[in-house]
Amino acid sequence: MRTKTNWAVMILIALGTLLILFPLYMTLTIALKNPEEMTRSVFAIPSTFHWENFSNAVKMTNFFRAFRNSALVTISTVVLTLLTNSLVAYAIARNMHRKFFKGLYFYFISAMFIPFPIIMLPIVKLASALHMTNLVGLTILHTVYALAFNVFVYVGYIRSIPTALEEAATVDGATTWGTFWRIIFPLMAPINATVGILICLSTYNDFLLPLIIISDQSSYTLPLVQYIFQGQFNTDYNLAFASYLMAMLPMIIIYLFAQKWIINGVTQGAVK
């Protein structure tokens, strides 16, 4: 039996697709044009592809140094976040019957509702006092700042894991430390993938925290380089958009390959 096509939903999906693809199309076409073609038409496909815009953008922004800094901070933050935030969440999830841990859980949840600009000045003063105005300090701050949301996500997932597994490990002589790393942490693979991908995207694309923390220009990440690039070459949109396209391409590729793990981790964490 043939099912009727829901044209209203199909039209909404088509419009949503166009809404998402249009900015990408504009970025690509502007990056491949020269200023003369820009003055004739912004929306038209370029008559000649100017691939030299990308090489010129790389030279003017020292792109690969900034990409190395962003990659270093992003990878370090993802690894440190998975190792530390999961431990904190495990301690809270298995002790929610105690007032201290329950209060600690709601303390982290409440931190999610504090806007970043409110704590921006104290972070700058503290980072400066502790000599953390570098890539190492930026990595630590990213890890700590993501703790509130990650605890919220991790606790819900860990509580769906049967405690019988830990009780059996305790009977066999395993310590709490060994139980977590040998039994619980491997079972957290779906939610670890979800958290890791979300942290990867947010850290790589973050602009405000590196802006207020990083003091050395040689340690600038890609978002900061793009900001300086636009300020210095604000009339040459072709080079600017070429640089933007190169900066966002790695995260687009990662998300296209990893989106199934995000959905899988969220759905498994929501159902006991």
pLDDT value for 227: 75
Query: What phi, psi does 134 have (nearest 5°)?
Result: -150, -175
Question: Residues 126-163: pLDDT tens digits?
Answer: 888 988 889 999 999 999 989 999 999 999 899 888 88
User: What is the predicted pLDDT for the residue at 30?
Assistant: 87
Cα separation, 135 vs 141, whole angstroms: 10
SS3 of 36, please?
helix
pLDDT, one tens digit per residue, over 68-85 is: 999 999 999 999 999 999
pLDDT at 269: 47
CA–CA dist 230, 255 (Å, integer): 26
The C-alpha atoms of residue 78 and residue 203 are separated, in whole angstroms, by 9
The DSSP result for 195-220, as a single string, is: HHHHHHHHHHH--HHHHHH---GGG-
Question: Sorting pLDDT into bands at 50, 70 and 90, what band is 234?
Answer: low
Q: What are phi and psi of 72, to 5 degrees?
A: -65, -45
Q: Write the CA distances from 238 to 38, 60, 164, 224, integer angstroms.
A: 8, 13, 60, 18
Over residues 153-199, the pLDDT tens digits come to 999 899 888 888 888 888 888 888 988 998 899 999 888 988 998 89
User: What is residue 92's predicted lDDT score, i.e. its pLDDT?
Assistant: 93
Average pLDDT, the chain: 85
> Average of pLDDT values for 33-47?
82
- Report the C-alpha gap between 232 and 121 in whole angstroms: 27
Give mean pLDDT, residues 40-53: 84
Q: With 70 as the cut, is the pLDDT of residue 63 above it?
A: yes
For residues 15-29, average pLDDT: 86
- Of the pLDDT bands very low, low, confident and very high (cuts 50, 70, 90), residue 6 is confident
pLDDT surpasses 50 at 243: yes
- Report the pLDDT averaged over residues 209-237: 79
Q: What is the pLDDT of residue 151?
A: 92
Q: What is the pLDDT of residue 265?
A: 54
